[in-house]
């Protein structure tokens, strides 16, 4: 019979075994530990936490190990796990202005209170392969600063805010809770809370390309990096039983605030507008792309014409999730022979009619 899809049960089992064997690779090479992944592949861990929508470095490392370094697959593993977890509490909004800063830069001011802090960045590295890393790289001596960085550095955009040059960021006015795209279906047009949630878990490559496209003229982005900051911030919950906030831990986040030139419209004076990006961990490229796309998607509220893909809410929000996209694209591998057969029958009939001959639907042996 149809050998390719028959005997499925055994075939699947064997495929799983082969995958497990491939994952382990040469057994003579030591097994990768989760600590190694967390410590030495931290950007991969951070990306997977974002797209997997859960802050858990150890589980992200496990997912990366299990997915053999396929980060989209790893994000999927995490998502399918997180969706089974109960909601024990909702945190207070995190306060990034009181972040313990490890990196903080602004491109809009030469210097600013608190200073520019480069932190650990690829930015000024020369991309030369470092052959010293071929073997154990050992420990790297670092000269740490004598004094700690200032605590609670004020946000750059707040400095602009004092002059009224930048739009006010309206707080959730009616005190309502933000939407939750993991529990409610996405309905369009969406508000900014929904959009930002979608962008936060969207595929980094997709956001990067969209942000880039709007810089190149597919859209009207003129962004400046108002501020990028990365560091640790406290996570606080207020349990109903206690009635007062308690700190339950801290997470690393990267925040990007883009400042965009805006000529004004009939309802809005000329001023700078904001685009916002926030990611778990140290994901600067994604935070920046997110901030650019966030601003592009605000065209409706700012009376801008929707001309480019990055401004098109439905296009961006419906196609940014790589777990959805990867699944649907790859499902083309599943058998489709029934639909293909229906098409075959029809195309043969239509060809027969055009040729003016009465050929049966099953004229498989006929030369085309």
Partner 1 sequence: MSEEEQTGTQNPEGSEKAAEASASNRFGPVRGYNFAYLDEQTKRMIRRVILKAIAIPGYQVPFGGREMPLAYGWGTGGIQITASIIGPGDVLKVIDQGSDDTTNAVSIRQFFRRTTGVKTTEKTVEATIIQTRHRIPETPLSADQIMVYQVPIPEPLRWLEPREVETRKMHALEEYGSMHVKLYEDITRHGRIAIGWNYPVLVNHRYVMSPSPIPKFDNPKMDRSPALQLFGAGREKRIYAVPPHTTVKSLDFEDHPFQVERWDRCCGLCGADDSFLDEIIVDDQGTRLFVCSDTDYCSQRRTEQAAKDRESPESAALADRLQEMAP
Cα four-point dihedral sign 245, 158, 211, 37 = negative
Residue from 25, 115, 189, 239 binding partner 1 (CB under 8 A): 189
Distance CA 364, CA 368 (A): 9
Residue from 68, 218, 324, 352 binding partner 1 (CB under 8 A): 324
Contact at 8 Å (CB) between 313 and 190? yes
343 scored as a contact of partner 1 (CB under 8 A): yes
Residue from 3, 147, 171, 242 binding partner 1 (CB under 8 A): 3
Q: Is 211 exposed, middle or buried (0-12, 13-18, 19+ CB in 10 A)?
A: buried
| Smallest separation, CB 323 to partner 1 (Å) | 7
Omega before 75 within 30 of 0, i.e. cis = no
176 scored as a contact of partner 1 (CB under 8 A): no
Residue 234's DSSP bridge partners are 250
18 scored as a contact of partner 1 (CB under 8 A): no
How many residues does the structure list for the chain?
A: 368
Stretch that binds partner 1, among 191-199, 227-235, 287-295, 322-330 (CB under 8 A): 322-330
| Smallest separation, CB 349 to partner 1 (Å) | 8
Q: Which is nearer to partner 1, 138 or 368 (CB)?
A: 368
DSSP 107-159: SS-SS-TT--B--S-STT------GGGGS----------SSPPPSSPPPHHHH
Distance CA 35, CA 50 (A): 19
Q: Which is nearer to partner 1, 152 or 350 (CB)?
A: 350
338 scored as a contact of partner 1 (CB under 8 A): yes
- Chain residues binding partner 1 by CB under 8 A are 1-3, 5-9, 11-12, 76, 79-80, 82-84, 86-88, 182-189, 314, 318, 323-324, 326-331, 334-339, 341-346, 349-350, 353, 360-362, 364-365
């Amino acid at each position: 019979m149809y050998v390719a899809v028959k005997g499925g049960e055994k075939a699947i089992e064997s495929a799983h075994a082969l995958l497990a064997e491939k994952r382990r690779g040469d057994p003579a090479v030591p097994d990768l530990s989760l600590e190694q992944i967390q410590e030495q592949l931290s950007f991969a861990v951070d990306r997977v936490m974002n797209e997997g929508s859960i802050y858990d470095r150890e589980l992200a490392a496990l997912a990366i190990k299990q997915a053999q370094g396929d980060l989209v697959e790893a994000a999927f593993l995490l998502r399918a796990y997180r969706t089974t977890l109960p909601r024990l509490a909702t945190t207070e909004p995190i306060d990034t202005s009181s972040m313990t800063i490890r990196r903080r830069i602004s491109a809009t001011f030469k210097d600013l209170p608190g200073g520019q802090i480069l932190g650990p960045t690829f930015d000024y590295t020369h991309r030369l392969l470092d052959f010293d890393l071929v073997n154990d790289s050992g420990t790297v001596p670092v000269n740490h600063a004598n004094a700690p960085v200032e605590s609670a550095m004020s946000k750059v955009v707040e400095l602009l805010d004092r002059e009224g040059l930048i739009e006010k960021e309206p707080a959730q006015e009616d005190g309502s809770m933000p939407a939750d795209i993991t529990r409610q279906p996405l309905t369009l047009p969406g508000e900014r809370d929904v959009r930002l949630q979608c962008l936060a878990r969207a595929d980094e490559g997709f956001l990067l390309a969209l942000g880039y496209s709007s810089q190149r003229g597919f859209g009207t982005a003129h962004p400046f990096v108002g501020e990028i900051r990365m560091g640790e911030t406290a996570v606080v919950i207020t349990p109903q039983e206690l009635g007062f906030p308690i700190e339950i831990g801290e997470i690393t986040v990267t925040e990007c605030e883009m400042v965009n030139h805006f000529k004004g419209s009939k309802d809005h004076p000329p001023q700078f507008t904001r685009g916002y990006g926030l990611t778990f961990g140290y994901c600067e490229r994604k935070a920046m792309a997110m901030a650019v796309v966030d601003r592009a998607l605000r065209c409706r509220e700012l009376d801008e014409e929707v001309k480019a893909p990055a401004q098109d809410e439905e296009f961006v929000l419906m196609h940014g999730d790589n777990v959805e996209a990867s699944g649907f694209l790859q499902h083309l591998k599943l058998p489709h022979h029934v639909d293909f057969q229906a098409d075959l029958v029809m195309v043969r009939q239509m060809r027969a009619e055009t040729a003016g001959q009465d050929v049966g639907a099953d004229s498989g042996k006929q030369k085309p």
